[in-house]
Amino acid sequence: MTLPIPGENGVPKNAIVHGSCRSWWTGNERSHCGGCHLTYSSLTAFDRHRKGGTCQPPESVGLVARQKPYGTLWGIPAPVGGYGALYGRDEAEDAA
Ligand SMILES: [Zn+2]
Ligand SMILES: [Zn+2]
């Protein structure tokens, strides 16, 4: 296997590639874990799977999988108030 190259073979130019696991994703706010090599939609989602300082299976901490062109993106479930409720309120994610 070779490393994905941004801008080639369907990989977007703005892709971020993790060399050690050959994952790629897009979005500067993503958090890719160097431990379990899963990609999280935000630092909040990342922090949630690191409960106790070790990687937890994301589904066990309430994160949901979303299928992206690059694979699975783990994120916070959509809040009751819609995605708009996520912005500007950290606690909005905990209410989901
Ligand atoms: Zn992890
Ligand atoms: Zn990785």
Q: Is the residue at 22 inside a domain?
A: no
Number of structural domains the chain divides into: 1
3-state secondary structure the chain: CCCCCCCCCCCCCCCEEECCCCEEECCCCCEECCCCCCEECCHHHHHHHCHHHCCCCHHHHCCEEEEECCEEEEECCCCCCCHHHHCCCCHHHHCC
The domain in which residue 59 lies consists of: 29-94
Task: Tell me how far the alpha carbon of residue 35 lies from the centroid of ligand 2, in angstroms.
Answer: 8
56 CA distance to ligand 1 middle (Å): 7
Residue 83 pLDDT class (50, 70, 90 cuts): low
Say whether pLDDT at 56 is over 70: yes
Residue 36 Cα to ligand 2 middle (Å): 7
- Give the environment of ion ligand 1: residues with CB less than 5 A: 33, 35-36, 55
Let me know if residue 62 belongs to a domain. Answer: yes
> pTM for the complete prediction?
0.79
Task: Tell me, yes or no, whether 47 lies in a domain.
Answer: yes
Classify residue 59: in a domain, yes or no. yes
| 19-48 pLDDT per residue, tens | 999 999 999 999 999 999 999 999 999 999
Query: Distance, CA 26 to ligand 2 centroid (Å)?
Result: 13
